[in-house]
Amino acid sequence: MGAFPGITTNLGDYVADLVRFLDESLEGFFDFIYLFSSQIINAIEGFLLWMPWWVFILLIVILGWYFKSMVSGVLYGAFVFLIGTFGLWEDLMTTIAIVMTAVIISLAVGIPSGVWMAFSKGFSTVMRPILDAMQTMPSFVYLIPAIFFFGLGNISAIFATLIYAVPPVIRLTELAIRSVDREVIESAQSFGSSNWQMLFKIQLPQALPTIMAGVNQTTMMALAMVVIASMVGAQGLGEQVLVSINQIDIALGFEAGISIVFLAIIIDRITGGVADKLQKHRRVS
């Protein structure tokens, strides 16, 4: 017997009914999302696989050099070269394509939502508990509706990753817009600037370094979902980790795992470097 004899709730059943209702009612919408996401990820992956390996490594070196230092750029290039020597080059490109697609969609949804929250206290009040739930809900739970709506594959992985990764950029965008100096805003208003002019010419440029910090966090959280997303059929490095677990293959597990670590370091340092550059430019201005 349960802890509360005679007292039961069927909240989970109601949620399941809601998901089924959405799947039936919005089938065309979910098909559009599937096709749109498929085209993005296929285009990115196709381009990355078309690019010669040495060009990609050179690009990583240049980005690391510009945003961090020459030593950092060479080190990042060495990391990528090492992943290639593991025989995981195609898996690396697939993982980058999945992460980039998830981040692009997250930013397209997250930045406008954050701006809206900054200007609307009511919308912010509604969104805050939703964002709390998205960040604290076990990430495995996201896989269930992802499979239900999109089946197994990379698109389900992107959907689950989107739910997990989008809250940081929404929160930091709202914080950044709200933190813009009031004196600057009042000066713009005194010169007759419209709300749109103030947003695009003053508030967003002033808020950009903080928004970039949100982009960094969203990207890292998207990468953190790589292994979990492999459980719904996502390909790439996460799939190799899952295979190594199933086969108890220590060598493959180490190589795939350390490759994810290398990729995380590269992405974190380069996106962090972009934020630092913007912050320095803002101080000079």
CB 209 within 8 A of CB 232: no
DSSP-derived letter for residue 194 is -
HSE-up of 127 (CA within 13 Å, CB side)? 20
- Identify the band that residue 86 occupies on the pLDDT scale cut at 50, 70 and 90: very high
Alpha helices by DSSP H, listed for the chain, are 11-25, 27-50, 53-67, 70-85, 89-119, 121-136, 139-150, 154-178, 182-190, 195-198, 204-224, 226-229, 237-247, 250-284
**All residues at 6 or more sequence positions from 206 whose CB lies less than 8 Å from its CB, including other chains:** 176, 180, 181, 184, 282
The predicted pLDDT at position 283 comes to 58
Which range is most confident: 13-17, 146-150, 246-250? 246-250
What is the domain-level CATH number for residue 276? 1.10.3720.10
Q: Is residue 6 part of a domain?
A: no
Q: Is residue 149 part of a domain?
A: yes
pLDDT of residue 126 exceeding 80, the answer is yes
- Identify the band that residue 143 occupies on the pLDDT scale cut at 50, 70 and 90: confident
* Percentage above 90 pLDDT, the chain: 19
Q: What is the dihedral of CA 7, 13, 18, 23, to 10 degrees?
A: 180
The predicted pLDDT at position 32 comes to 83
Q: Is residue 76 part of a domain?
A: yes
Q: pLDDT per residue over 195-214, tens digit each?
A: 777 777 778 888 888 888 88
At 219, list the tokens.
Answer: 């990207």
The parent domain of residue 181 ranges over 21-284
Q: Could you give the number of structural domains in the chain?
A: 1
Q: Is residue 13 part of a domain?
A: no
Q: How many Cβ atoms sit within 10 Å of the Cβ of residue 126?
A: 11
Q: pLDDT per residue over 23-69, tens digit each?
A: 778 778 778 888 888 888 889 889 999 999 999 999 999 999 998 88
Q: Is residue 162 part of a domain?
A: yes
